A and B are shown apart, each in its own frame.
Chain A
Amino acid sequence: MPEQPQQPEGAIAGTGAGGAMDLAASEATALERGPGGYGGRGGQDKPRSLWSDAWRDLRRSPVFLASSVVILFLVVISVWPSLITSGNPLQCDLAKAQDGSQPGHPFGFDGQGCDVYTRTVYGARASVTVGVCATLGVALLGSVLGGLAGFFGGAWDGFLSRMTDIFFAIPVVLGGLVLLSVVTSNTVWPVIGFMVLLGWPQIARIARGSVITARQNDYVQAARSLGASPARILLRHIAPNAVAPVIVVATIALGTYIALEATLSYLGVGLKPPSVSWGIDISAASPYVRNAPHALLWPSGALAITVLAFIMLGDAVRDALDPKLR
C-alpha cells in the first residue's frame, strides 16, 4: 500500500465514531491555531494533542479507512434503503419460495418467497439502530455511573462495584431469553433497553478505572489547590483525560451488540416478524439450509461483515488513542 501523507481531510466523511473523530479533530485544530497564529515560530512546530495525533494516525490506517467505508455504506442504506433496492421486504410471493437468483432478484428468494436482496438491505436498519442506540446508552449510563464512582470513591464506589459484579454474573443470552420473552412490543426498544441494562457495567468499570487514574494526576491536585469545585474538576480536568478508553471499548462493543441483536432475534426473543432483521432471516432460513443455502448465506454474510467492520474500527481507534503504542 503506497504511503499517502497528504490525504485531503474529510476525504472520507467518517460516520459514527469516525464522524465524531472528524469533528473533534477539526475543533482541536481550530483551538490550536488560537488568535494570532504562531508568531515567529514559522509553524513547523505543529501543535499536537491526543486527538489531533489520533486523527493523524487514523487517516493513515488502512484498517480504519476500510472499516469506515463499510460503516458509512451501512449507515446510508439503513437510512435510505430505497437507494439500492426498489423492492418491498414484506411483499412476498410463495410461488417463488426457495428459488435461486433471477434477473432483478440477485440473491434469490427465501422460504416465504421474499426477495433475499431486499430483505438483506432492509435488515441493516435494525442492526445499525440497535448497535448505535445500545452503544450510546451503555456509554452514557456506564461512564456517568462509573465516573462518579471513581471520582467520589467510598460507599457509592463499593455499592457500584458490587452491582457490576451482579450484572456480570447474568449470562447475556439466558437473561435475554427470560427478560425479553415477556415483552410483546415489536420495536427495537426493548432489545436496546435490555442491552443497556446488561452492558453498562462493562463501560462503568472502564470509566471508573480511567477516572481513578486521571484523578491521581498532579493537575487535578493543582486545580484543587487553586480552588476549583469538584464538579469543575470532574468535568473539565478529569473527563477529557479519561474518555479515550471508554470510546475505544464502546466502539468495539458496538459490533458485539449487533451480533447480540441477531442472536436474540434468531432465538425469537429479539425482533419478531414482520420486523426485518438479519437474525430473523437467519433463523427462518436455517431449517431448509440444504435446499436454499443462499437464503441463509446472504444475511449471515452481511451480519459478519458489519460486526467485523465495527470491531476493526474499534481496533484502529484503540491503536490511535493508546499513546503507549506510539
Chain B
Amino acid sequence: MLLEVHDLHVEFGTRDGVAHAVNGVSYRVDAGETLAVLGESGSGKSVTAQAVMGILDTPPGRITGGRVLFQGRDLLRLKEEERRRVRGAEMAMIFQDSLSALNPVLTVGDQLGEMFTVHRGMSRRDARLRAVELMDRVRIPAAAQRVGDYPHQFSGGMRQRIMIAMALALEPALVIADEPTTALDVTVQAQVMDLLAELQREYRMGLVLITHDLGVVADVADRIAVMYAGRIVETAPVHDLYKAPAHPYTRGLLDSIPRLDLKGRELYAIQGMPPSLTRVPPGCAFHPRCPLARDVCRTDVPPLQAVQGPGAEEGERASACHFWRECLHG
C-alpha cells in the first residue's frame, strides 16, 4: 500500500473556539490508483491533503491524532528535515490556482529547475535543460523559447501544465492534486485532466484527486471518498457510487447535477447549509439536512460500515449512514 491515512484528526484554534476540520479520516491509495476525494468547501478535503503533505500551518492548525503511513513509514513521526526530503521527491502536490501557485518574480525555467538543484544538486545549466525537457513533456509548444518567460505570460492551461511538470519533475510515487482544473475553462479542463491521467499511468503514481466536480471524477478516478464536515461519509468504486449511492449526502450531490433530459425542471439542491466546523451537529453531522434523518441520527455518530450491494465484491464499499440500506435501495 502506497499511502494509508489512518484516523486522522486536525483542528484549528480560532477566535470562535476550536474548529474540528478533520475528524477521523482514513483512506488508502495504491500505486497507480486514483482516489477522488469529493466534498464541498470546508469539508476538510484540502486540510487532510495538507496534513498528509506536511504543509499545514501550525499554528493555527494542529494534528491531534492519527497516522499517515507512506510506503510503510509514519510521516507524522518523521523529523521536519526528513520530511522535507520526502516532499517534492517522493510526494508532490498540484495546486488549484496556477497563477498564484507560481512565483511571479521567477521565470518558469528557474522554478522548474529549482526541483533539480534543490533535490538532485544539479548545476543550474543542467537544471535548465531538464526544465525544457519537462515543459516538452507536458506539451508546452516551443518549450526552449519559453523557458525564460514569467508565469503571467502563459495562459491558464499552460500554467497548470507547468504546475503539473513541477510536481512530476522528480517522478514522485504519490501526487496530490488539489482541484487542479477548477480555475480553468471546460475545454482546457479536459486537456489538463487527460494529460495528468496519462502521466499518472506512465509513472504508475498514486493520485489523490481533490475536487468538488463530479464530472471530473467520473472520467479519471478509480475510487471515490466523499467527505462531509471533516469525515468520510462514503467510499466506493467510482461506477458503483454513481449507480447506487449508499449515503443520502452522496445521493443529494448526484441529484443536483444538471441533466439535459430534465431540462426546464427545477434543479435539485440539498436543503440547508454545511455546518460550521466550530459547531458540528451532534450525532450524524448531516442530519439537519437529511431527508432520512430519525432520532438515532441526532444522537449517535454513524460509523463507517461495510456496505453489501453493487460493487461490494470488487472493491470495498463503506457508508457512514445508519440507514444505508434504505438509501441504497430507495
Contacts and interface: CB of A to CB of B under 8 A. Distances in A.
Contacts of B14: none
Contact of B148 (A35, A48, A237): A35
Given A49-B150, A222-B95, A228-B114, 8 more contacts: A31-B148, A33-B148, A47-B149, A50-B104, A221-B101, A225-B95, A227-B89, A232-B118
Interface of A: 31-41, 45, 47-50, 217-219, 221-229, 232, 236-237, 240-241
Interface stretch (B80-88, B269-277, B299-307, B316-324): B80-88
Interface of B: 53, 55, 84-89, 92-93, 95, 97, 100-107, 109, 114-115, 118-119, 142, 144-150, 152-153, 163, 166-167
A218 B101 CA distance: 5
A229 B105 contact: no
B102 A219 contact: yes
A50 B105 contact: yes
Nearest to B148: A34
A300 to B, nearest CB: 43
Given A227-B84, A227-B85, A37 B145 contact: yes
A115 B298 CA distance: 93
Contact of A39 (B101, B145, B152, B163): B145
A27 to B, nearest CB: 12
A212 to B, nearest CB: 12
Nearest to A32: B148
A225 B53 contact: yes
Contacts of A48: 150, 152
Nearest to B93: A225
Contacts of B104: 49-50, 219, 241
Closest 5 pairs (CB-CB, A-B): A34-B148, A227-B88, A39-B145, A226-B88, A225-B93
A218 B89 CA distance: 19
A36 B145 contact: yes
Contact of A236 (B53, B88, B89, B106): B106
Given A34-B147, A50-B104, A224 B95 contact: no
Contacts of A229: 84, 118
A39 B143 CA distance: 10
Given A50-B104, A241-B104, A36 B118 contact: no
